[in-house]
Every structure is written in C-alpha cells, then in structure tokens.
C-alpha cells in the first residue's frame, strides 16, 4: 500500500512517515501542493494524506486538482483548521475523511485502515491465486493452507503482484511500492525479495518478464 504524504511541517512529516513505514506502508513525502499533484499522476499512490495548510497552494485547491484526474483515489485530509465550515468544504470537494490536528497516531492508522478496506475491488480481504492466499486484514499468507511468514517488503511485493495477477508489473512500479522516495535501494533488492518468495511459494509462482518486470500468472 503506497501512501502519498503531503505535509509541510518537516517534523510532523518525519514522525508520520516513520510510523506508517513501521506499519508496512510505503511512504512518499512531499511538502508542496504542486509536487503533490505531480506525484499523484506519476507515482500512482493508493491513498493520499493531505495537509490543508501548505506553503504554495491551498490544500483544498490541491484536493480539487487531485479529484479532476482521480475520482476514486482516497484522500484523508489533515488540518489545524478544525472549524465545521472547513470540514464541510473539505468533504464537499471530495475528501474521503478528515482528521483535525493534533491527532493521535493510532487514530490516523485506524482511519487509513478504513480507507484501505474500501479500496479493495471486492469486499473480501482475501486474495487467492493458485495455491496461495493472502489475507490483507490479518497480513497473513498461506500456501496450500499452511501459513508462510514473510518479512514486510516480501509481503508488500507479493500483495502487489497478487492484486494484479495476470499483469506484468514493472521494476520501477514495484520498487516505488516497496520503498519511499529518497530511500536507498540496492540494485538487486527486488531480485532478492523475488528469490525469497519463490523459495517459500514455489519457483514457478512468480514469473520474470525479461527487461520489464514480474508477473504472477493467473492459473
């Protein structure tokens, strides 16, 4: 799950990014509205966490810009301006949820889980491909009914490929889901994760599409 965090308060942004990454989210952080609009188009985040008080643009303008292209992308608005009018305006312009500052991290995480649940194309939190099932609510993976323990990035990689079973996902797209911006990524990191997943789930489960990326074929 990739989160675009739009927040100009560097200290708060760092704390949020750290907490979100600890929960297995990939986080891209930008501090300006214009950069947020670019990132929404180029990075295809799954959820946007948007601070309304930004230095270069009004956050509600950013929200409108996002909605012009992405009608279904979930946006969780953060703001210190917790008047009822702002709340109503934010929701009217297409925010999916609204969290007044200051907030508890646990509350932000709970609201993100709600948005995440709404995201799924089906209401079920289980994805099945062949003999492998992945439960996104419990973060649990089973192969032939037996639980397989996966570290966070292997889980995220598997989830991305299973959600898109049958399609090829490019290296760049997979790396951007697994790592945040500015994070140092070893050139063979993706291969290593794939290698580990194949060892645990069967060598044929993930296919390499040479020069492009990876795919889990639909059985």
- Binding residues (CB under 5 A) for Ca ion: these are 8, 51, 53
Phi, psi of 155 (to 5 degrees): -60, -45
Q: Which two tokens stand for residue 128?
A: 């099945």
Residue 50 or residue 190: which is nearer to Ca ion going by CB?
A: 50
How far is 17 from 105, CA to CA, in rounded Å? 11
- Least gap, CB of 7 to Ca ion (angstroms): 6
Of 51 and 86, the one with the shorter C-beta distance to Ca ion is: 51
Minimum Å distance from CB 9 to Ca ion?
Answer: 5
Toward Ca ion, which CB reaches closer, 100 or 130? Answer: 100
- Minimum CB–partner distance for residue 187 and Ca ion (Å): 36
Q: Minimum distance between the CB of residue 99 and Ca ion, rounded to whole angstroms?
A: 13
CA distance 127 to 181: 28
**Quick one: 46 or 51, whose CB is closer to Ca ion?**
51
CB of 114 vs Ca ion, minimal distance in Å: 23
Q: Among residues 156, 162, 172, which one has the least CA distance to residue 217? A: 162
The residue of the chain with the least Cβ separation from Ca ion equals 53
- Report d(CA 36, CA 30) in Å as an integer: 6
Q: DSSP state, 130? A: T
User: For residues 33 and 213, which CB has a smaller minimum distance to Ca ion in the complex?
Assistant: 33
* Listed residue (132, 117, 138, 156) closest to 26, CA to CA: 156
Q: Are 207 and 216 in contact (CB under 8 A)?
A: yes
């Amino acid at each position: 799950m990739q989160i675009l965090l739009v927040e100009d308060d560097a200290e708060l942004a760092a704390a949020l990014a750290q907490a979100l990454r600890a929960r297995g989210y990939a986080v891209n952080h930008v501090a300006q509205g214009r950069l947020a609009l670019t990132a929404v188009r180029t990075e295809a985040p799954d959820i946007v966490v948007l601070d309304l008080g930004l230095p270069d643009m009004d956050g509600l303008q950013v929200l409108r810009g996002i909605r012009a292209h992405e009608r279904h992308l979930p946006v969780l608005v953060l703001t210190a301006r917790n008047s009822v009018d702002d709340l109503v305006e934010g929701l009217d312009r297409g925010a999916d949820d609204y969290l007044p500052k200051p907030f508890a991290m646990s509350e932000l995480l709970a609201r993100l889980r709600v948005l995440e649940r709404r995201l799924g194309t089906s209401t079920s939190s289980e994805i099945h491909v062949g003999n492998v099932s992945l439960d996104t609510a419990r973060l649990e993976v089973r192969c032939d009914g037996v639980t397989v323990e996966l570290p966070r990035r292997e889980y995220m990689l598997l989830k991305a490929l299973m959600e898109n079973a049958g399609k090829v996902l490019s290296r760049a797209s997979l790396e951007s889901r697994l790592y945040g911006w500015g994070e140092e990524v070893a050139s063979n990191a993706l291969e290593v994760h794939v290698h580990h997943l194949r060892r645990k789930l069967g060598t044929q489960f993930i296919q390499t599409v040479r020069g492009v990326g990876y795919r889990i074929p639909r059985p």
